Structure 1
Amino acid sequence: MNMEIGLFFAMVIGGGWSMARLAQYGRLPGILGMLVFGLLLSGIAKPSIPDLAWDLEPFIKSLALIIILLRAGLAIRRRVLARVGRTSLLLAIIPCTLEAMVLTPLLHWVFGLDWFIAALAAWMLAAVSPAVIVPTMLALQAEGRGQKNHLPTLIMSSASVDDVVAITLFSTLLVLAVGSDTSAEIASGLVSSLQGLAWVPVSVLGGILLGAVVGWVLALWLKKQYRHIRATDKTLLIVVTCLAMVALGDAMGLASLLAVMTIGFVVLERAEPIAQEVALKLAKFWIPAEILLFVYIGMQVDLTIAWQTGLLGLAVLAAGLLARTVGVYIATAFDPHLSWFERSFCAAAFVPKATVQAALGAIPLSAGLAGGSVILSLAVLAILVTAPLGLVLIRRLGAALD
């Protein structure tokens, strides 16, 4: 029998909070405790979890990501972004491209995946997790860590574009991989993939433009209503606007989550007092949102699936991470201000994978693609291994930053 939805959310928030505190007591990241609680909850009570809980999952994840990226945008100043802009763009493109290039042949040779299927799996696995990266960067920023060369801003801005590139290429390759049996279908799929590749810069620039326009309008109106609307109301208005904008951006094929970050950036530039009020409120909203997000991600992890690829899966993922690390060092080589330690920190910051893999890992299997179970297994394994590893590395190296 299914449990009541109220009891379910009470268990999720209460249990996730408790496990986070337990993890912190053991000098581990609180997010790790939330993931573990989600895994345990799914393993013990999965049959009794109400269907409504799963129906609400996409909305809850989207809302949590909006809060994350708004907070990131509200912490990025124009002069800082101008300073790290070139390096940020290189970090967004080079590491994920190298990782996907290494993973594609390995997935083909080791697991026997078709080349197109191997490529779409590689891009899915190459995406980093803003849900893990952004909060940790905001925490370091609040502590005054990495401010000498603006590392938190550099990493937050590049991580969001990294995801846009990876998700767009995964989606276009999925079109090619599904139902392309005849030569005409393959040719059509190739055209679709090339169009999808060409759409990446359009999606990114369109998302930034959409966010800039919406952010400018919001800042202008909120400045006029500054004394008549409470900070909580301002925050709710911005979040609701972002929810609507994400739906619009997705329908238009634009990078909607990047647009959300841009709104925060524009509001900070145009109405800094309002931005500071909203940032403080969002930090409070993030407390339950973080628990819900990571417990849900943990609930999607199936250990029996993760073990299917075993040591071979770990070796393939490790090779991809090694390629990503090389990519980070290449991307940061053109910035003379960064030390070797700071470049190493950037490499560590791009290790965590969770959100994209949880959202996309099961799609190839549900689409009936050959090797879909292997792809899902690798996605789950990536979450289990890289999220905790990345969090620990960020904490250890971040503590030594200036």
Structure 2
Amino acid sequence: MLLSLALIFLCGLALGGIFWKLHLPQLLGMLLTGILLGPYVLNLLDSSILGISADLRQIALIIILTRAGLNLDLEDLKKVGRPAALLCFVPAAFEIAGMLLLAPRLLGISLLEAAVMGTVVAAVSPAVVVPGMLKLMEEGYGTQKSIPQMIMAGASVDDVFVIVLFTSFTGLAGGGGISAWDFVRIPVSILLGLAGGILCGMLLVVFFRKVHMRDSVKVIIILSLSFLLVTLEHALTGIVGFSGLLAVMSMGIALQKGRKEAAVRLSAKYSKLWVAAELLLFVLVGAAVDIPYAFRAGAAAAAVILGVLVFRMLGVLICLLGTELNRKEKLFCMFAYMPKATVQAAIGSVPLAMGLACGNIVLTVAVLAILITAPTGAFLIDFTYKRFLSK
């Protein structure tokens, strides 16, 4: 495992640096590192690290979402209002609708199988979007109209909405039933996640006021609580859903609200953790990419992905109607809501593992969605933010 970690960090840094020199997102180099080191090309990564790949990717996601919460000012979010709420579910719903229209015709699958595929593909990637939005906030681009804050918040809740739908549709495809209670889980998961995270954040504010300690120790405490919140998500089943990742982010927001100066220092600590976590996340996502499946899918699967992206971008545009954003700012938001990576890598293989007939094609489309949208979305964010947003 130590050799694998050394290869992940050294090769990821090297290829990321090369792509940076070429004025391309470092993310591309990290994804390529994972593909090259992974089991489908050079096979240099130890099976033990691949076995815990999902857990390592989740830790990286927890780090970036906590950092997002520590930087997200609720007052900025209140200025945005309605569009931020709509971005939580409208673009994903449009993309799933696009999949229902296109996939049966282009890939020859049933409507239910298209629904399963749509919920796999529809989730935006906070691991790609959030770092990009944090960069914009640090540099002051789009912050006057709260554009990065709006996108960051919407992208985090978007995943909750999509994953609950995915669980419902895979249950139905596996021979189970689907009821109205399955859809009740969506608001329940969101509300309980927000409440749990805010409660933890408020308790931490009180604790940190009474007990003085180094910021490094505070980071360990916050990380441990974050792990417990995400574990609680897996423990709660049935109608009582709970969004652990949303709880992690809202805990950071509550901390930022109660201890602003401490939140700034803690965010700086988390940004240092993100240097290593980012490498682990994207190299391991690249290692999960099944190259033979991707090549076998052909042009039809790529056409489906590009087609549903048009539906997603239309959904984003509808969310932004009636706002003070100009044409370029709306176009930037549409680009920023494109990238997919972590959720697709995490759940893309679940239908295949369940033995569903659509398992292979769902996995293939999930892989292609990562390959097409993660680098393209990251590139468009980097390329357009200085041109489309005011500083």
TM-score range, shorter chain: over 0.9
Deviates more, 1:246-255 or 1:273-282: 246-255
* TM-score using structure 1 length: 0.93
- Stretches of 4+ aligned residues off by more than 4 angstroms: none
What does residue 331 of structure 1 align with? 319
The Cα offsets for residues 337-368 of structure 1, whole Å up to 9 and x where unpaired, read as 21111111100001111111111111111111
- Offset of residue 81 of structure 1: 1.4
Residue 181 of structure 2, aligned match among 164, 173, 195: 195
Corresponding letter in the other structure for 2:29: G
Q: Are residue 229 (structure 1) and residue 213 (structure 2) matched?
A: yes
Q: Displacement of 1:276 after TM fit?
A: 1.1
State the partner residue of 1:247. Answer: 231
- Using the TM superposition, give the Cα deviation of residue 254 of structure 1 relative to its aligned residue in structure 2, in angstroms: 0.6
- 1:159 corresponds, among 155, 162, 169, to 155
Deviates more, 1:284-293 or 1:362-371: 362-371
2:369 counterpart of 1:382: yes
- What's the TM-score once normalised by structure 2's chain length? 0.96
> Match of 1:205, as an amino acid?
L
Does the aligned pair in 2 maintain the 1:113–1:370 contact within 8 Å? no
Residue in structure 2 matched with residue 238 of structure 1 by the alignment: 222
Hey, what does 1:354 align to over in structure 2? 341
Partner of residue 82, structure 1:
78
Residue identity opposite 1:196 in structure 2? D
* Cα deviation, residue 117, structure 1: 1.8
Aligned to 2:331: 344
> Partner residue of 1:122?
118
- CA drift at 1:50: 2.3
Q: Superposed, which structure 2 residues align to 1:63-102 within 5 Å?
A: 63-102=59-98
For the residues of structure 2 that align with 1:45 and 1:70, how far apart are their CA atoms?
A: 34
Per-residue CA distance 1:116-165 (angstroms, 9 max, x = gap): 22101111111110010000111111111111201110000000111111
2:254 is matched with which residue?
266
Separation (CA, whole Å) in 1 of partners of 2:338 and 2:332? 10
| 1:112 CA drift (Å) | 2.2
Between the two proteins, the alignment pairs up a number of residues equal to: 384
Q: Tell me, what secondary structure is at the counterpart of 2:340?
A: coil
CA distance in 1, matches of 2:136, 2:56: 25
SS in 1 for 2:72: coil
Preserved CA contact (<8 Å) 1:71 1:282: yes
CA distance in 2 between counterparts of 1:369 and 1:276 reads 47
Out of 205, 208, 213, the position equivalent to 2:194 is 208
Q: CA deviation at 1:171?
A: 0.8
Correspondences of 1:246-325 after superposition (within 5 Å): 246-252=230-236, 253-325=241-313
Give the whole-Å Cα distance in 2 for the aligned partners of 1:116 and 1:314: 20
**Does the CA-based 8 Å contact 1:215-1:267 persist in structure 2?**
yes
What does residue 170 of structure 1 align with?
Answer: 166
Q: CA offset at residue 305 of structure 1?
A: 0.8
**2: CA distance between counterparts of 1:334 and 1:265?**
27
Please tell me the residue identity of whatever aligns with 2:291. L
CA distance in 2 between counterparts of 1:334 and 1:99 reads: 22
Aligned pair partner of 2:7 in 7, 11, 21: 11
For 1:4-83, list aligned pairs within 5 A. Answer: 5-42=1-38, 43-46=40-43, 49-83=45-79
Q: Which runs of 5+ in 2 are unaligned?
A: none
Cα separation, 1, equivalents of 2:321 and 2:27 = 32
CA RMSD of aligned residues (A): 1.2
Secondary structure at 1:190's aligned position in 2?
Answer: coil
- What amino acid does structure 2 have at the position aligned with 1:161? V
Q: Distance in 1 between matches of 2:5 and 2:147?
A: 36
Q: CA deviation at 1:222?
A: 0.9
Could you tell me the percent identity over the aligned residues? 37
Q: Secondary structure at the match of 2:144?
A: coil
Answer yes or no: is the 8 Å Cα contact 2:130–2:152 preserved in 1: yes
* 1:182-216 Cα deviation digits (max 9, x unpaired): xxx5xxx132xx32212101110110000010111
Q: Work out whether 1:399 is the aligned partner of 2:386.
A: yes
Name the amino acid aligned to 1:324. Answer: R
Aligned with 2:356 (options 352, 356, 369): 369
Alpha-carbon separation, structure 1, partners of 2:197 and 2:322 = 29
1:233-268 deviation per Cα after TM superposition (whole angstroms, max 9, x unaligned):
111111111111110133223111011110110000
Inter-partner Cα distance in structure 1 for 2:80 and 2:91: 16
1:149 alignment counterpart: 145
